[in-house]
Amino acid sequence: MIATFTDFGPHGPYLGQVRAVLHHQAPGIPVVDVFPDLPAFNVRAAAYLLPAYSRCLPVGTVCLCVVDPGVGTGRGVVALQADGRWYVAPDNGLLSLIVRHSRNVSAYTVTWRPSTLSSSFHGRDLFAPICARLANGERPEWAPVEGTALERADWPDDLQRVVYIDGYGNAITGLRADRVPLSAGLEILGTTCRYSRTFAEAPPQTPFWYANANGLVEIAMAGASVRQVCALDVGQEFRLIALS
């Protein structure tokens, strides 16, 4: 399959145009929109979401990854094979955590360009055709590079910030849950959140943190929007504290 991870949003023409190119150039290969609303323009936040939300995809999946505020500039285009999956993305740090959290990686700078390339929609004109070629078992013109060249060295392995707010108002963070003891508290904007395994076990109307289904720490409230109650947004920092 081809899986899309973009900040285009589920509404409007952009994702549909990308899917149309994939359908035309890779007919018969299913396209799944795994994450159509990554935080707009926020490359770093998206970088911490990609490993968590692509790890469930089968080996052989081609991931089209676009958060690209530098579209139309001289930024490069990269293809990365990581633990059997392909990732195609702008060379802007978006694949940093994929590289760091994968066991086996092969990275390439893609030099191929189509005959027609707009200056503002490389998702449709460049990334989609590259993904279609990979899904068809073909290879575009490229040159190998070290996987570490795709990383941002100053980005930590885990990010103690909110990186996404879902439709329920829950706040997903860039911190892997298996790095946090269940006895720890999470303090954000003056609110202390304790761990709860499930929503049903959490005290009503009380912010808590839990390990979400994709392995990240998530801040939530049972039956309410923690975003509204605590005024949370993408980028908000938090800290871990010891609870008595």
Domain segments of the chain: what residues?
Answer: 2-150, 159-242
* Per-residue pLDDT, 169: 97
Between CA 187 and CA 6 the distance in angstroms is: 30
Q: Please tell me the number of Cα atoms within 13 Å of 218 on its side-chain side.
A: 24
Domain spanning 2-150 has what CATH number?
3.40.50.10790
**Predicted TM-score (pTM) of this structure:** 0.96
DSSP 51: H
Give 10-residue mean pLDDT values along the chain (244 residues). Answer: 97 97 98 98 98 96 98 97 98 98 97 96 98 97 96 96 98 98 96 97 95 98 96 97 90
Domain spanning 159-242 has what CATH number?
2.40.30.90
Neighbours of 161 (CB within 10 A): 18
**b/e per residue 192-218 (b: at least 16 CB within 10 A):** ebbbbeeeeebeeebbbbbbbebebbb
* Per-residue pLDDT, 244: 76
* Per-residue pLDDT, 188: 97
